[in-house]
Every structure is written in structure tokens, then in C-alpha cells.
Structure 1
Amino acid sequence: MRAVAALLLLPAVLAAGVSSPQPLSPFSFYNLSTPLSGPCDICTGPDGALWVQNILVDKIARVDPATGDVEEYSIPYTSPPLNASLLSGFTGGRTASACAIRPGNDGNIYAVSGIRNQFLRINVTTRKIDVFTPTPYNPLGDVQPFNDLIACPNGMFFSQTTANVISHFNYASEIFTTYLLPTPLSAALGMIYFKDYLWFAELLGNKIGRLDPNDSSITEYPLTLSLLGPAVFRAALSNPDRVCFTAFLAGANGCLNINTGEIEVYPNTGLLPELSLPSENAKDEREGYEDIIYYSTATQNYINILNATSGEIFNIDEPDTLLAEPLSLPIYLDIGINYGPGDAVWFTQATENRVGRYCLGMSC
């Protein structure tokens, strides 16, 4: 099935009767300079580069897909209550444990700073990183390191899991607005902005939430145990309109029809799929592949491919995997996955301290 998936997804190599050579391997890897960085989340920047948020070191990395050059930029260390810059040498530069980075609609990139409960803006031209502290400041906002953020027309929404709130950062005013979630201890995590609403996953509440920015109302959709632990939204589909998410604790993926409320369940396949820990997903942006979703599995070294129309799931093995499942050996700890830059799927390998690229065609 894995070979079939590769054949289905790779474009034809013949054009006008002329054969176009394929590379020996569709995989390429880019190592980070700082040891034990723990690359975690990734996104495509407005500059066409791949941007990386590390979980084990307080740095943002940039990969130039054309040259393969990797640059790293240190996140300024500030005291959150005062938002005052401090020297970070005594911290070892490893005090954030952050794992979320997304492009804004204003030409910048935004990221979170994990357990510091702060918010980052990255200028892709100057590489300057500004640090913002949400107000009112809550030191318990993200005492565990995972939260998420997403762009909307006038700013960025981001989750504060242990504070049980969602916040909004306005691009122009730089003012924060906070929305308290109706379900206690729901642990809002992943989010996506689609059809004028913010959709978010409640990891512990086991619900999907919908926030209306116009009136601040929140609607919740309960999930069954077959979608236990909804984690990350990175895919929105049309015809019908659906938002799709990973179910971290169930070894599955789900899609919510935003018009009917119907919820589809896509269980993982293979040996002990409940141990696979689906983490992030990404939608294919090519014409004709609108229902293809890629997703990572933290304990299995696969590029997983879900056809959200047929329900079929295929897997592509990552190089040098000795045992693929139920737990891969060695475990690469894949978390981040992204379609693009280029005609490619990018992914992180935290234990290998690198990001990978899987070419889908000749233009990656």
C-alpha cells in the first residue's frame, strides 16, 4: 500500500514524450546547528522559506528550500510580568518549551513561547523577534508546553491551554482580547480559522469548539471516544465544508461538517494504531488533491496520507527506519508537518535534530 500511495501522489514523469528524471530519493534532510534543538512545529513563511519552532531550545530556525541553508535566531528572553529584556545566559536558552508557529496575514510570522505564556512576532525581512506578554498576565497559562495559534483577518488567535482561554492579538493595536472557555479544564489546543469562525480542539474536554468573533459566543460539539484527545487543526476542506483534526489519544483523525454537525472518524491502520499518536495535519494545496490530508504520528516514522473522501489511509516510510510499527525504531518523534514550501511535504524529526522534505513532484 505504501508503494501504491507513492505512485498515486507523485505526478507523471512523462511530458510531450520526453522522460524527466526523478531524484534517487524523494527525501531530503536539513540539520539544525544547535544540538538538541528538538524541531517541533513548522510553517511556510511569506518569504517562501520554511520556518521552524524548536521545543528544546529557545530559537527559531529558517530553511531556504532553494539553497538548503539553515539559519537560527534566538528568542529574546524577557521577564513575563514586566516584559523587560534580561540576559538569557544563566537560563541556557532552554526555558520556553514552545511548539507552535504560523504565518500571519500581515506579512510577519507568529509563534508562541510555551511555558513562558508569551507571544512572538517575527519579521521575515529583518529577522527581528518581538516578544509580547498577554494581558492580564496569567503565569499558569501554559504550564505544559503545547498550544497553538492561527491567523484571522485582523490578528492572531492563540490558545492558552492550562488557563482554559483563547486569546486574540490585534495586528494594528497590539491589544489582547481573552475569551474564557465554557468547559472547565478543556485544554484548548489546535485551531483553524474557516468560514468566519475560529474552530478549536479541546484536548481534555473531548470537544470541538467554535468561536464567533462577532459576538464572542462559543458553541461546542462533543466527540465520541473514537476521537479521544482532539489535538491539532491544520486542514479545512470544501464540498462539503469540513474542518479536520488529529485525535492524539485515539490513534485517529476526524472531520466535522460545519454545516450539519456530522462528524467523520478515520481510524489509523496497522499494528496497535492507538499507540501511533497522530499529532499535526496539513492539507495538500494542489489542484485535484483537495481532499488529501497529510499527518504526522509521534511514535511511528511515517508520512501518513488520508483521503478524506474515500477514507483510505496510506503510509510512506521515512528513511533508515528499522521497525515501523507498532512503535518505530528508532523513534524520530515526528510532530510538525506542512505542505510546502514547493510541491513537497515537510516534517520534523525531533530526535534527529532535523527537518525533512518529501518531494511530490519536480518543482519542490
Structure 2
Amino acid sequence: MPGEILGQVGALFGIIKPGPGRTVVFDLPQLNKVATLHVDTHVFTQYTMPTPNSFPVGVRTAADGSIWVGESLGMKIARIDPVTGAIAEYPLLGVNGLLTSVPGGLLVGSVGNPLPMAGPIAEAGDGNIYFSVSFPAAFGLGNQVARFNPATREVRMWATPSSASYPCDINVHQPGAVWFGLLTTNRVGRLDIAAA
């Protein structure tokens, strides 16, 4: 990226987050990449997502140094190992899709086209990965927050009380809770994971 004029195509979509080690991490969805920047050496490392045009967004670093990202248009979440560069993708739909085994179905309490778009993602203090789920629309609809256990691949989903609320951010800094913004209803939501 240094020396390149990327323009709007290479524009950052999300907010820069702390990365593994002495790096910051960010997504470049129009380029189908996630990247890190070493804050001391200024060296960029780019990771191209295996699914073409997956539109990676909401990137976050877990306690073990792995990088998690929602592949919005790819309908997947992914884990990047920054040591090896290996990328593991977890489809939301399909034969082994994470959300096809959720009791009660995918659209409980939600509206929109049943094609799940993974959004912001983060590892909470319980070691699970939480991410928002929306559906294709002008700017996304839906009202789901999902929990993924990387060890068991089990998924649980919660619907916000407001339909089509579009959870748009995930904050896991308070122990025992996941906080999230609700874009279309102009509210803030809280999931009590200690009681879940």
C-alpha cells in the first residue's frame, strides 16, 4: 500500500482496531482484504479473503492474537492466523452452515431477505465470538446478535426487541455483557452473557 494511490476503491470502511502484537488492524472491503500495520516498522501485511468479493467488515483481534472478521457479502465469518497467514472461513448457510442448525430458524423475530450478512464481530470475556447478523437491503436490516463457540462450532442467536433494528457495532469491554448499537432505532442494546 505504501506508494500506491488506492483512492476510493481502497478506502477504509471500518474503524482501525488494536491488532496482534505491535500492530493495528483494519478492513479493506472493496479490495476483499484485511490488513495490519506495524506501528514501529510501518510495514503493512495484507490478507486476501478466500471468498471473492466477500466484503470483510468489523475486524477485531482475539486474546490469542487471531483476527476475526465478518464477511458481509460472503455470508461467512473468518479467522485469520497472523503468524501463518492461514484463513479459516465459517459459512453461515449451507450444509455445514453455522446458522442452519440454530433452533427456531434464522429469522425468528426478524425481517428481510433470509440471506445473513455478518457484521461487526468481537471476542468477549467468555472466549466466544459475538457478531451481528443483518440482511440485504439499502443499508442492511435485521435484529440478530449471534454467539459462536470456536471450539464446538455451536451458535446461539438473540433477537433485539426492535424489529429491523440493524445491530451496527459490538463492544465487549464490560465483563459479562455485549453492548451493541442499533442503527435504525437510534438505541443502544445490551446482551447479558453472564445470564445467557
The normalised TM-score by structure 2 is: 0.77
- Structure 1 residues not aligned, in runs of 5+: 1-132, 312-364
Contact 2:27/2:57, CA 8 A, preserved across alignment: yes
Instruction: State the alpha-carbon separation in 2 of the partners of residues 137 and 207 from structure 1.
Output: 30
Is 1:237 paired with 2:122?
A: no
Give deviations 1:306-336, integer Å, cap 9, x for gaps. Answer: 122444xxxxxxxxxxxxxxxxxxxxxxxxx
Q: Which segments of structure 1 move beyond 3 Å, counting only runs of 4 or more?
A: 133-139, 224-227
Q: How does 1:101-120 map to 2 (within 5 A)?
A: none
Q: How does 1:204-223 map to 2 (within 5 A)?
A: 204-223=73-92
* Aligned counterpart in structure 2 of residue 281 of structure 1, from 157, 162, 170: 170
Is 1:265 paired with 2:132?
A: no
Give SS of 1:237's match.
coil
Determine the structure 2 residue equivalent to 1:60. Answer: none
Instruction: State the alpha-carbon separation in 2 of the partners of residues 293 and 217 from structure 1.
Output: 28
Structure number with the bigger relative contact order (C-alpha 8 A, sep ≥ 6) is 1
Q: CA deviation at 1:291?
A: 2.2
Contact 1:280/1:295, CA 8 A, preserved across alignment: yes
Determine the structure 2 residue equivalent to 1:185. Answer: 53
Contact 1:235/1:282, CA 8 A, preserved across alignment: no
Instruction: State the alpha-carbon separation in 1 of the partners of residues 39 and 72 from structure 2.
Output: 28
Determine the structure 2 residue equivalent to 1:199. Answer: 68
* Aligned counterpart in structure 1 of residue 188 of structure 2, from 288, 295, 303: 303
Instruction: State the alpha-carbon separation in 2 of the partners of residues 168 and 283 from structure 1.
Output: 21
Instruction: State the alpha-carbon separation in 2 of the partners of residues 134 and 256 from structure 1.
Output: 36
Contact 1:236/1:244, CA 8 A, preserved across alignment: yes
Q: What is the letter of the counterpart of residue 70 of structure 2?
A: A
Larger Rg computed on CA atoms? 1
Determine the structure 1 residue equivalent to 2:41. Answer: 173
Q: CA deviation at 1:231?
A: 1.2
C-alpha RMSD over aligned residues:
2.1
Q: How does 1:49-60 map to 2 (within 5 A)?
A: none
Aligned length: 168
Contact 1:206/1:229, CA 8 A, preserved across alignment: yes
Give SS of 2:50's match.
coil
Give deviations 1:277-309, integer Å, cap 9, x for gaps. Answer: 110121252xxxx22111111111322111224
Q: How does 1:1-364 map to 2 (within 5 A)?
A: 134=2, 136-139=4-7, 140-142=9-11, 146-151=13-18, 152-194=20-62, 195-224=64-93, 226=106, 228-238=116-126, 241-249=127-135, 250-270=142-162, 273=163, 275-285=164-174, 290-311=175-196
- Structure 2 residues not aligned, in runs of 5+: 94-98, 100-105, 107-114, 136-141
Instruction: State the alpha-carbon separation in 2 of the partners of residues 179 and 235 from structure 1.
Output: 20
Instruction: State the alpha-carbon separation in 1 of the partners of residues 49 and 15 from structure 2.
Output: 15
Instruction: State the alpha-carbon separation in 1 of the partners of residues 189 and 131 from structure 2.
Output: 14
Give deviations 1:8-33, integer Å, cap 9, x for gaps. Answer: xxxxxxxxxxxxxxxxxxxxxxxxxx
Instruction: State the alpha-carbon separation in 2 of the partners of residues 167 and 284 from structure 1.
Output: 23
Give deviations 1:215-255, integer Å, cap 9, x for gaps. Answer: 100000111473822111245232xx201112233311111
Contact 2:78/2:87, CA 8 A, preserved across alignment: yes
Q: What is the letter of the counterpart of residue 230 of structure 1?
A: A
Q: CA deviation at 1:196?
A: 2.1
Q: Identify if the C-alpha distance between structure 1 residues 257 and 134 changes in structure 2 by more than 3 Å, giving closer, same or farther.
A: farther
Contact 1:237/1:243, CA 8 A, preserved across alignment: no
Q: Give the % identical residues.
A: 23
Q: Identify if the C-alpha distance between structure 1 residues 234 and 219 changes in structure 2 by more than 3 Å, giving closer, same or farther.
A: closer
